[in-house]
Structure 1
């Protein structure tokens, strides 16, 4: 009768014979030297970057903190938020009919929607803003009334202000992209969902709002959030219209003081904070519409902290 000898670390002999129990097997942890080297390199680079932020006088942190909450900067931040929120609302309100027209079986509506999206996605946003700001040059007056009959005319010089031109340009530009995002989300819903709802006799309006739209939102939200973040950053372009948004106000201040880098950092940090807030909003919105699609919703950061705290308390 043969005797099986457990395999020990460092034993380079043949593997144990058949019949060896699990307790006799030696578990050797996997080695990842490349991974640890990459981690060390990342920490070294981060340490060098942090050291440069602290010791380099060019960053001029006293000036940064002095202007970060300055009154004119905060007011300009409010203009940026107003342009972002109003542009997003108007853009998606325009994107809904554009998506419906693209999905329509009517060739005229589909063609008009496709042409609008093609034109506004082709022309740069900066050119659109300048075009709407100079609308009065093309049309000195606008007339509203009955064709070939009485009407009312008024000059266009004061019709669209700089803020109105910026908002109009941002909204029309965003509508073109929002229309495609909404259309893609609606097309992502399986056709069987429509057929099953129709077979059950559910009205078309209820089909859309209770069956199709909740499923389409899971595909719409990530792209819509990216579009909203891009709109937030695109508001910096309206400085060409002399609107006192965040980037314009920062330019005015460093034009007087000459402190370019710290003032640019003021704008950068505010944009990062606003983008982080939008990312948090995106996370909770996507989590809400994930109900029914996944068995267990991903935990929120607060839930993760509570779980970690309870685990640590239980370990003690």
Structure 2
């Protein structure tokens, strides 16, 4: 008997050379997914309720929210954020390529220093860089410039 023939004859002996008992695979009962559909319906209902609340609740004051989208201060901050992101990306790519090339160097001191920096630099990113604080502090009001936590 051939393995391809076992799909048409469910009572036939279905063993192959790979040691799998195909009869167990063919006789598997249908699994019911009632809880899966119920949880999907509950999640969709909650998403609908949140959306309905966002649209119909007058306390959100959407006219004020949309008014802020035309604010010059918002666009200045957005442009500065995008500029800093682009600068950070370029610096990160350059430093990453240089470190990767240094790790491939035949000099074990250079390769070891690069390997140490690759392991040590992610811990540096957990700290708040002073350069970012210096770039943002000049736009703050005079009473907040003294506090280094306002960035």
**Does TM-score exceed 0.5, indicating one fold?**
yes
Aligned residue for 1:104, secondary structure, equals: coil
* 1:45-98 alpha-carbon deviations (Å, 9 max, x no partner): 101211222344443322110001322211221111111111101210111010
What stretches of structure 1 move > 6 A for 4+ residues in a row? none
In structure 2, the CA distance between the partners of 1:240 and 1:38, relative to structure 1 (3 Å rule), is farther
In structure 2, the CA distance between the partners of 1:107 and 1:53, relative to structure 1 (3 Å rule), is same
In structure 2, the CA distance between the partners of 1:17 and 1:84, relative to structure 1 (3 Å rule), is closer
Matched with 1:84 is 85
Aligned residue for 1:105, secondary structure, equals: coil
CA root-mean-square deviation:
3.2
Matched with 1:242 is 137
Unpaired runs of at least 5, structure 1 = 1-15, 19-28, 131-164, 167-237, 253-316
Q: Distance in 1 between matches of 2:103 and 2:46?
A: 49
The answer as to 2:95 corresponding to 1:102 is: no
Q: Distance in 2 between matches of 1:240 and 1:58?
A: 36
Q: CA deviation at 1:243?
A: 6.1
The answer as to 2:61 corresponding to 1:70 is: no
Q: Distance in 2 between matches of 1:102 and 1:35?
A: 49
Aligned residue for 2:106, secondary structure, equals: coil
Q: CA deviation at 1:111?
A: 1.9
**Aligned residue pairs: how many?**
116
Map 1:87-166 to 2 at 5 A. Answer: 87-127=88-128, 129-130=129-130, 165-166=131-132
Q: CA deviation at 1:32?
A: 2.8
Matched with 1:287 is none
Q: Distance in 2 between matches of 1:37 and 1:64?
A: 36
Matched with 2:35 is 34
Unpaired runs of at least 5, structure 2 = 1-9, 13-29, 142-151
Q: Distance in 1 between matches of 2:81 and 2:110?
A: 34
Q: Distance in 2 between matches of 1:124 and 1:17?
A: 64
TM-score (norm 1): 0.32
Map 1:135-284 to 2 at 5 A. Answer: 165-166=131-132, 238=133, 241-242=136-137
In structure 2, the CA distance between the partners of 1:88 and 1:125, relative to structure 1 (3 Å rule), is same
Choose between structure 1 and 2 for higher RCO, CA contacts under 8 A separated by at least 6 residues.
1
Q: Distance in 1 between matches of 2:134 and 2:63?
A: 26
TM-score (norm 2): 0.61
Matched with 1:48 is 49
* 1:102-124 alpha-carbon deviations (Å, 9 max, x no partner): 23332111122123233332234
Between structures 1 and 2, the one with greater helix share: 1
